[in-house]
């Protein structure tokens, strides 16, 4: 097995991965803008997975050019999924993140996948430079809101007793040399066929079921702060992780769930902060 350590050299590009459609282009640009503003002096390359060319490609391209960011549309070869189990509940799109290594450039050694309901408010480079050892992925498990009983249930449900916990795949650092070596499409298709009746969040469940024991855990209060749970975080930490602490220390705010900060009715604690970044991104 490849033993893989990573040290970023000065001026090296940070690779970022997204999977979107035309409905969330503005949200993508808000997330990218927040990264650019809070990870200074680090060149960025944005890879966007898409199965057809986005209608707003010019908007993304112009935005990235103005901020000196590389933009790389990643077009999917659907023939890769001709043997995949596909239903209304398991559309082809669930495989895009699972098999991203199949269609990313082979000279990339690591990439950070991010959902687009994310705001970066401090320097992202320490996460990107994380030493992953022989782990395939690095992600958070939302430890503050997860109980031992929930973890045990997920291990049984997904058939992976070796997994330390259940990981959220919305923020996921990918160790591409090892992933290319070990993550196989046939294994994923077989796992879905054999476990389709117990999968609740298909692609996240597959990652945890097959590879949960090869995740490096990162702290969610720093790198995947669930914006819905601010009261829980503060209570769990004995009052330490209050608003001032989050603004100073947390790097990634993740607006999980159906209530999103770009909606007019959103009233979460960090709604003003998100709308501020969204406004600035639109001015680029």
Structural domains in the chain? Answer: 14-116+123-221 (3.90.550.10)
* Element holding 33 (H helix, E strand): helix 25-38
| Of 164, 171, 252, the residue nearest 208 (C-alpha) | 164
Q: Which of 20-29, 55-64, 144-153, 265-274 has the lowest mean pLDDT?
A: 144-153
DSSP states of 12-25 as a string?
A: PPEEEEEE--GGGH
Tell whether the model's pLDDT for residue 157 goes beyond 60.
Answer: no
Question: For the chain, what is the mean pLDDT?
Answer: 87
Whether the full predicted model's pTM is greater than 0.85, yes or no, is yes
pLDDT (tens digit, 9 = 90+) per residue, 247-284?
Answer: 999 999 999 988 999 998 898 999 999 999 999 999 99
Residues 45, 17: contact at Cβ < 8 Å? no
Tell whether the model's pLDDT for residue 144 goes beyond 80.
Answer: no
Beta strands (DSSP E) in 127-263 are 137-140, 168-175, 215-217, 225-226, 252-254
Q: State the pLDDT confidence band at 86, using cuts at 50, 70 and 90.
A: low
Residues 60, 29: contact at Cβ < 8 Å? yes
pLDDT at 97: 85
pLDDT at 88: 62
Residues 117, 32: contact at Cβ < 8 Å? no
pLDDT (tens digit, 9 = 90+) per residue, 25-41?
Answer: 999 999 999 999 999 99
Share of the chain above pLDDT 90, in %: 62
CA–CA gap between residue 172 and residue 216 (Å, rounded): 10
């Amino acid at each position: 097995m490849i033993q893989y350590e990573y040290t970023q050299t000065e001026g090296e590009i940070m690779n970022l991965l997204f999977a979107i459609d035309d409905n969330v282009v503005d949200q993508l640009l808000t997330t990218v803008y927040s990264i650019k503003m809070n990870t200074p002096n680090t060149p960025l390359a944005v890879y966007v997975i898409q199965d057809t060319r986005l209608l707003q490609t010019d908007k993304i391209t112009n935005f990235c050019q103005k901020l000196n960011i590389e933009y790389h549309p990643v077009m999917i070869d659907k023939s890769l999924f001709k043997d995949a189990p596909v239903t209304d509940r398991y559309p082809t799109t669930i495989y895009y993140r699972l098999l991203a290594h199949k269609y990313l450039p082979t000279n990339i050694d690591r990439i950070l996948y991010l959902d687009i309901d994310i705001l970066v408010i401090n320097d992202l480079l320490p996460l990107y430079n994380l030493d992953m050892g022989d782990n395939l992925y690095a992600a958070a498990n939302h430890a503050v809101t997860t109980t031992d009983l929930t973890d045990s249930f997920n291990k049984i449900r997904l058939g992976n007793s070796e997994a330390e916990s259940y990981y959220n795949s919305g923020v996921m650092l990918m160790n591409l040399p090892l992933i290319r070596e070990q993550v196989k499409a046939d294994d994923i298709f077989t796992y879905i066929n054999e476990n389709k009746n117990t999968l609740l969040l298909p692609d996240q469940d597959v990652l945890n079921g097959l590879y949960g024991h090869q995740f490096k855990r990162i702290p969610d209060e720093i790198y995947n702060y669930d914006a819905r749970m601010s009261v829980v975080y503060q209570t769990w930490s004995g009052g330490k992780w209050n608003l001032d602490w989050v603004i100073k220390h947390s790097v990634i705010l993740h607006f999980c769930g159906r209530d999103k900060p770009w909606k007019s009715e959103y009233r979460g604690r960090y709604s003003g902060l998100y709308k501020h970044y969204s406004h600035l991104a639109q001015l680029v």
